[in-house]
Amino acid sequence: MSDRLDPDRIPRHIGIIMDGNGRWASARGFERTVGHAAGEQSIFDTIDDCLELGVEWLTVYAFSTENWNRSAEEVDFLMAFNESLLVRHRDSVAEKGVRLHFIGLSADPRVPRRVVERMAESERLSAGNTAMHVVFAFNYGGRAEIAEAARAIAEEAAAGTLDPSTVDVSTVAARLYLPEMPDPELIIRTSGEQRLSNFLLWQSAYSELVFTPVLWPDFDRAALIECLGVYQARDRRFGGVVSTDEAGEH
């Protein structure tokens, strides 16, 4: 634990938008795919760091529903890369007590069946682990997740198993991809971009957002500690106020 951090204020759940792989590669005269490969170590170093710091949940944005708009070559690489990543790392991660989860549109026919099978295998192999939960948001989009929940509610109402008048926030939350996942207290985006890009839209309602200029392949423990320091310096009010002087703030 860094002496810069308060161990009692480590976020229970951190979400990370891993951005900047392409720019990292382009700056070095490489193809974009080289940047994705270079970012691999950052993923597993960050898992180790979060585990050591006492983070309970870590969600990483591995492939978005909008990433299908990239070149066929890059998409094909990312599909094969994510499959290879699971095969090469899931056992070592599981041995550390990490439970793996995957959220997203796994039934999308564009996702190779072998990738879906690898994800299911990884979840099954790590199901008994309790040291930390790592969630890969793969073929994921926040809008799609909310739409899927709305569809489930509509189907239940049409079937007569759900009274529409009882639908509330908890009804929607219970039908998200991973209902037991707590909302992230902190969302980090690397590369300097300052937007959520359709990541955990429902869950991030009160998340603290920290944007770092560090490109994902260069994201290391020092960068993580820096982001956590920014988070701990903030006052999380959830729409409330801490003094009468701030009574007009929202």
Under the banding of pLDDT at 50, 70 and 90, the label for residue 246 is very low
Q: For residue 73, what are the CA distances in angstroms to 80, 119, 140, 189?
A: 11, 22, 20, 25
Closest CA to 232 of 1, 4, 14: 4
pTM (2 decimals)? Answer: 0.92
- Point out the catalytic residue in the list 67, 129, 218, 220: 67
Residue 3: what pLDDT? 66
Residue 87: what pLDDT? 86
pLDDT beyond 90 at 248: no
pLDDT beyond 90 at 243: no
Residue 236: what pLDDT? 79
Residue 223: what pLDDT? 98
Mark whether 19 is an active-site residue. Answer: yes
pLDDT in tens, 132-152: 999 999 999 999 999 999 999
pLDDT beyond 90 at 242: no
pLDDT in tens, 21-65: 999 999 999 999 999 999 999 999 999 999 999 999 999 999 999
Provide the 3-class DSSP secondary structure of residue 134.
strand
CATH code: domain 9-140+185-233 is 3.40.1180.10
Tokens 């041995």 map to which residue? 95
pLDDT in tens, 60-93: 999 999 999 999 999 999 998 888 888 889 899 9
Percent of the chain with pLDDT over 90: 87
Residue 237: what pLDDT? 72
Q: At a CB cut-off of 8 Å and minimum separation 6, what does 102 contact? A: 119, 122, 123, 135, 136, 138
Average pLDDT of the chain, as a whole number: 93
Contact status, residue 179 vs residue 101, Cβ threshold 8 Å: no
pLDDT in tens, 152-195: 999 999 999 999 999 999 999 999 999 999 999 999 999 999 99
Mark whether 67 is an active-site residue. Answer: yes
